[in-house]
A and B are shown apart, each in its own frame.
Chain A
Amino acid sequence: MSDSNKSLDPRIARLELPQGESIVKPDEYWGTFEVFLQEKRGKFHQHVGSVHAPEQEMALVFAKEQYARRGKCVNMWVVKTTDIFAFQLADEDMFATTPDKQHREAGMYKVRDRIQAYQEREKKI
């Protein structure tokens, strides 16, 4: 910026602002870690997002700043994104029949009618 265009802002005016281009190199902001947050003791850690960090300790520091500024939190995990192994979303139909497996559900097992019928039958005798 030329002097004629000096900032109105005193804090900016004191900076020596760079002239010309400024280029960030590939990977200058490192890789990513996935962040898991536990809201209170007894609850599961839940995925809340990710952070860029050079290594795991810094990832925890950044995770705390990013995901635990407010609200409840008692603990956090960070995991390198590349260490997460997952199914392909395109394969989601492999779970499609799960809700049909009624024999795995408590609600499938209803014997009240049978008990009532039995008791009525027994009374008659």
Chain B
Amino acid sequence: MYGGGFIPDENPKKQTETVAEDSALLAEFQARIDRGEKIEPHDWMPAMYRKQLIRMIEQHAHSEIIGALPEGTWITRAPGFRRKMALIAKVQDEIGHGHLLYTAAETLGKPREQMINDLLSGKSKYSNVFNYPAITWADVTVIGFLIDAAAIVNQLANSKGSYGPYCRALERICAEEAFHLKQGHDAFVYLATGTPQQHEMLQAAVNRWYKPIIHFFGPSDKESVHSEQLMRWKVKMASNDDMRNQFLDMYVPKVREVGIDFPDPNLKKDPETGKWNFSDPDWDEFYEVIKGNGPCNAERLAVRKWAEEKGRWVRQALATPYTKSTVPLA
């Protein structure tokens, strides 16, 4: 589901430090990307390209896994059999996406175990939206429709990127996301057009999720030199602002057409520039949550550790499946 909001390194110096690269190789590398060819795992690549891709794909993978947690616990409480079936399928897809992405990141040289350890220790980040709770079924509906929609904008863009294994994973992921989005929209419309109580519950959930949704694509990065380089290498395919704008273009009308609205009087499209304006979404909060101080950061990581520890005996049992049983000697 969830690639969005590329989270920059907390230490901006670390991000821009460059290793001296062979200029001929670099030019050849850039020319290949400009011709629209993909880079494959054993091709030469600049150290910075490799590092930023690992960072991005790994964050994306963690987001898929952590993103399934707020939805997963709603499976037993989903309203009705059809919604339950859809949610089970969706949650399984998300975990599958996490595995596809870990595999893509591994081709760049970082082992899966190390990525999981970096997630559990808090060193690696995941999409900030999953540090907020899903209090009611309407919250799950908002996640399933709007967060997935935002993620698709991001993932469709990234699937046109330059790194072969990431693009192949994303193509598969985007195909499955189409189902996630449709089932999310279905549930969203169902609540919006249902009883006044259902409508109200959905509006309350949209109010809760508005800020995280605006945060989703990350702060403006138009002026970042770093971002420019990543875009030349087709690691990043569009600026955070452009992706956010595209999302608002596509989905504000779909929210409003069923009588729901975002709780921001300044959310308007400027007819001259074609850009959406909105109130300051409190970027300080965004950075605080990234640092680990959001409402659910501790819970998400604790649940992830729980899964790791409670699942260990299964992995160990699988690792030695052919231990033969023997009869006592005497």
A70 partner residues in chain B, CB cutoff 8 A? 176
Task: Kindly identify which residue among B96, B120, B135 contacts A66, using a CB–CB cutoff of 8 Å.
Answer: B96
B135 partner residues in chain A, CB cutoff 8 A? 8
Task: Kindly identify which residue among A5, A30, A69 contacts B93, using a CB–CB cutoff of 8 Å.
Answer: A69
Instruction: State the CA gap A1–B295 with chains docked (Å).
Output: 12
- Say what secondary structure dominates the interface of chain A: loop
Q: Check B306–A17 contact: CB distance below 8 A.
A: yes
Task: Kindly identify which residue among A12, A54, A69 contacts B92, using a CB–CB cutoff of 8 Å.
Answer: A69
- CB of A99 to closest CB in B, whole Å: 16
Known contacts: A8-B133, A12-B73, A66-B96. The answer to whether A26 contacts B111 by CB under 8 A is yes
- Say what secondary structure dominates the interface of chain B: helix
A52: interface (CB < 8 Å): yes
Binary per-residue interface labels of chain A (59-98) against chain B in the complex, 1 for a CB within 8 Å, 0 otherwise: 0000001100110000000000000000011100000000
Instruction: State the CA gap A101–B135 with chains docked (Å).
Output: 66
A21: interface (CB < 8 Å): yes
Q: Check A29–B112 contact: CB distance below 8 A.
A: yes
List residues of chain B with CB under 8 Å of any chain A CB: 40, 42-44, 73, 76, 89, 92-93, 96, 99-100, 103, 106, 111-113, 116-117, 120-121, 133-135, 168-169, 172, 176, 298-299, 302-303, 305-306, 308-309, 312, 315, 318-319, 321
Q: 27 A-B Cβ contacts within 8 A?
A: A1-B299, A1-B302, A5-B298, A7-B299, A9-B299, A11-B73, A11-B76, A12-B73, A12-B299, A15-B306, A21-B120, A24-B116, A24-B120, A27-B113, A28-B312, A29-B112, A30-B319, A32-B106, A49-B103, A49-B169, A49-B172, A51-B103, A55-B318, A55-B321, A58-B318, A65-B92, A65-B96
